[in-house]
Amino acid sequence: MADSPLNIPPEKIPQHVAIIMDGNGRWALSRGLPRVAGHKAGTENLRRVIRATVEFGIKYLTIYAFSTENWGRPAEEVQGLMGILQDVIDRELNELHQEGVQLRHIGRLDRLGPKIKAKVLKAIELTKNNDRLILNVAWNYGGRDEIVYAIERIIKDGIPAEEVTDQLVSKYLFTAGVPDPDLVIRTSGELRVSNFLIWQAAYSEWYVTPTYWPDFDKDEYRRALETYAGRERRYGKVSSEELEGSKSNA
């Protein structure tokens, strides 16, 4: 295709990709480096993956960067991660803005320090009218926490029980207005959801690779998208091919 670097028909390109960026610690360990060095390398890779996402023509990217459970890590690592978030905003914001990336945050900002919170809010405000890529950063995010928070607000808003629908719940999530992820990628080989988008990923396709996040490059990203394009999403129904076959046999 002339305008896409992917060998995939446009209708098979996912609209929304979500990534569990895992394996930074093991990447560092395998090189005899401290874990925080792995997170720094992971951040460098994120920059490349964001660029590739724009190039591939994907509209929404959600990245899992810090979970509600990650607070349980050693204080030094948690502080290192918070520092990296601030550095990334300081260093990358203007360029992301120029490239038309709209930054959003999913999760809770309340546990973050006032300085970092202000930086995140500033980045959201600055980029709010961009529409080339919507980048949701999951920071202090947990899928269960998101659902609990939605239930709290549904009750506080006095919504009658009979009005509580699938669509209504979706509107109360941090991802309100964002289509569900078509594809979830997890690096470093772990076969679990780790509290990521547990509502939204109900029918997402999965791609898990043993590659550690800092090494997940554009070629592998392309392979993930090509694998996705070859899947048939059935949503609990019967394969369309099978249905066609049974019609012609009848």
* Least Cβ distance, residue 227 to Mg ion (angstroms): 22
- Residues within window 18-37 making contact with Mg ion, judged by CB under 5 A: 22
Structure tokens at 118: 């202000």
CB of 176 to ligand IPE, least distance (A): 21
CB atoms within 10 A of CB 17: 26
Pick 13 or 142: Cβ nearer ligand IPE = 142
22 is annotated as an active-site residue: yes
- The reply on whether position 205 binds Mg ion by CB under 5 A is no
Instruction: Give the Cα-Cα-Cα angle 185, 187, 191 (nearest 5 degrees).
Output: 80
Q: From CA 223, how far away is CA 237, in angstroms rounded?
A: 27
Task: Please say whether the beta carbons of 208 and 42 come within 8 A.
Answer: no
Rounded CA-CA distance 53/218 in Å is 9
193, burial (CB in 10 Å: exposed 0-12, middle 13-18, buried 19+):
middle
Structure tokens of 132? 């080339």
For the CB of residue 182, give the shortest distance to ligand IPE in the complex, in Å: 19
Q: Give the other-Cβ count within 10 Å of 165's Cβ.
A: 10
3-state secondary structure string across 91-123: HHHHHHHHCCEEEEEECCCCCCCHHHHHHHHHH
Tell me if residue 136 is catalytic.
Answer: no
Which is nearer to ligand IPE, 8 or 92 (by Cβ)? 92
Q: Minimal distance in Å, beta carbon 196 to ligand IPE?
A: 7
Residue from 70, 130, 145, 217 carrying the catalytic annotation: 70
Give the footprint of Mg ion on residues 68-97 (CB under 5 A).
none
Q: Among residues 22 and 92, whose Cβ is nearest to Mg ion?
A: 22
Residues at the interface with ligand IPE (CB under 6 A):
20-26, 64-67, 70, 81, 188, 190, 192, 194
Task: Kindly tell me which of 45 and 53 has the beta carbon lying closer to ligand IPE.
Answer: 45
Catalytic annotation, residues: 22, 70
In the complex, the residues that contact Mg ion under the rule CB under 5 A are 22
